[in-house]
């Protein structure tokens, strides 16, 4: 049975779609998993546009309305990576039917990643309910942190386990909130720290996931580490600069997020043995 993972935040533009696409691409391309990425941002869908899909024949909206079979709406991007797009033309749907749809296709994939809407209504609830586990995406500033804490509370109330936070668009400035500040407030571990990287914007213009295009970027390597922790595999960053850092004792595990990933992996996979 595959795992459905919701990518959520209550704030727009923090990086949910970017995370869904790039984590999905890494899981399939680098770790050989069968992955479906789902656009569950019903009012403002754009996941498919990132891959150059503008007007799919059938969409998740059609499936939820009972107008199309889900297998008709799933498109293959490349080997191991599939997408279930939503409709840009707003057809009225009941988002809460999402769980039923996801449950029927779970056995066909290793991972189903759900790109949530930021709207604190039935749209986001639908993702929380359909997901077995969640990542909350945040950025290192107070306004976003406050919405992140609300999202965490809501997920806890709904009983969907939170794997951790994905801290995105980090510029390394001293006015930014630190990982420790964020973890203290949110009481959830940070499992990935993604730098602000213009490569994401470049990949948008190429209609190709950043992690498949910019293989040596720090942000790609961070997605690889995160994916490895989800599949219980070791991932070795073989870039020259990392090898040099390793000589001086600096490894992924010496970073806070790397340590957190090890704890996450150990707790998850010793539990399910």
Ligand X SMILES: Nc1ncnc2c1ncn2[C@@H]1O[C@H](COP(=O)(O)OP(=O)(O)OP(=O)(O)O)[C@@H](O)[C@H]1O
Q: For ligand X, which residue of 87, 138, 168, 257 counts as binding (CB under 6 A)?
A: 168
Task: Give the footprint of ligand X on residues 39-68 (CB under 6 A).
Answer: 41
Q: For Mg ion, which residue of 6, 10, 15, 16 counts as binding (CB under 5 A)?
A: 16
- Which residue's CB is nearer to ligand X, number 113 or number 265? 113
Write down the least CB distance from residue 11 to Mg ion, Å: 11
- Which residue's CB is nearer to Mg ion, number 18 or number 260? 18
Under the binding rule (CB under 6 A), the answer on residue 123 touching ligand X is: no
What is the side-by-side order of every strand in the sheet holding 3-8?
75-78, 81-84, 35-40, 111-116, 3-8, 133-138, 162-170, 190-195
Q: For ligand X, which residue of 2, 4, 6, 17 counts as binding (CB under 6 A)?
A: 17
Q: Which does 14 bind (CB under 5 to 8 A by kind): ligand X, Mg ion, none?
A: ligand X
Question: Which residues is 81 bridged to in the sheet?
Answer: 35, 78
Write down the least CB distance from residue 89 to ligand X, Å: 18
- Which residue's CB is nearer to Mg ion, number 9 or number 163? 9
Q: Are 128 and 40 in contact (CB under 8 A)?
A: no
- Which residue's CB is nearer to ligand X, number 197 or number 237? 197
**What is the distance between the alpha carbons of residues 111 and 35, in angstroms, rounded to a whole number?**
5
Question: Which residues is 190 bridged to in the sheet?
Answer: 165
Write down the least CB distance from residue 207 to Mg ion, Å: 16
Q: Which does 33 bind (CB under 5 to 8 A by kind): Mg ion, ligand X, none?
A: none
Residues sharing a CB contact under 8 Å with residue 203, sequence separation 6 or more, in sequence order? 209, 210, 213, 214
- Which residue's CB is nearer to ligand X, number 13 or number 52? 13
Under the binding rule (CB under 6 A), the answer on residue 18 touching ligand X is: yes
CA-to-CA dists, residue 66 to 55, 58, 60, 72, 263, angstroms:
19, 11, 10, 12, 42
Q: Are 116 and 40 in contact (CB under 8 A)?
A: yes
Which is nearest to 135 in space by CA: 155, 109, 111, 119?
Answer: 155
Q: For binding to ligand X (CB under 6 A), which residues are involved?
A: 9, 12-18, 41, 118, 168-169, 194, 196-197, 200-201, 204, 219
């Amino acid at each position: 049975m595959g795992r459905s993972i919701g990518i959520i935040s209550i704030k727009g533009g923090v990086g949910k779609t970017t995370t869904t696409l790039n984590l999905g691409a890494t899981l399939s391309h680098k770790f050989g998993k069968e992955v479906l990425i789902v656009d569950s941002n019903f009012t403002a869908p754009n996941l498919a546009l990132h891959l150059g899909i503008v007007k799919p024949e059938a969409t998740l909206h059609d499936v939820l309305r009972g107008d199309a079979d889900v297998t008709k709406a799933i498109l293959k991007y490349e080997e191991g990576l599939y997408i279930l797009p939503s409709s840009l033309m707003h057809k009225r749907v009941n988002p809460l039917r999402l769980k039923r749809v996801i449950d029927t296709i779970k056995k066909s994939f290793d991972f189903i990643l759900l790109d949530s809407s930021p709207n604190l209504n039935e749209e986001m609830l639908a993702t929380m309910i359909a997901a077995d586990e969640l990542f909350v995406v945040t950025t290192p500033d107070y306004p976003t942190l406050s919405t992140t804490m609300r999202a965490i509370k809501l997920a806890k109330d709904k009983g969907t386990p939170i794997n951790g936070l994905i801290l995105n668009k980090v510029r390394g400035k001293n006015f930014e909130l630190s990982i420790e500040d964020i973890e203290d407030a949110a009481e959830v571990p940070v499992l990935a720290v993604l730098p602000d990287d213009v490569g994401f914007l470049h990949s948008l213009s190429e209609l190709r996931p950043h992690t498949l295009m910019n293989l040596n970027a720090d942000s790609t390597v961070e997605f690889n580490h995160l994916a490895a922790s989800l599949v219980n595999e070791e991932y070795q960053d073989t870039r020259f600069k990392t090898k040099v850092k390793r000589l001086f004792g600096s490894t992924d595990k010496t970073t806070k997020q790397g340590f957190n990933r090890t704890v996450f992996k150990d707790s998850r996979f010793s539990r399910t043995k």
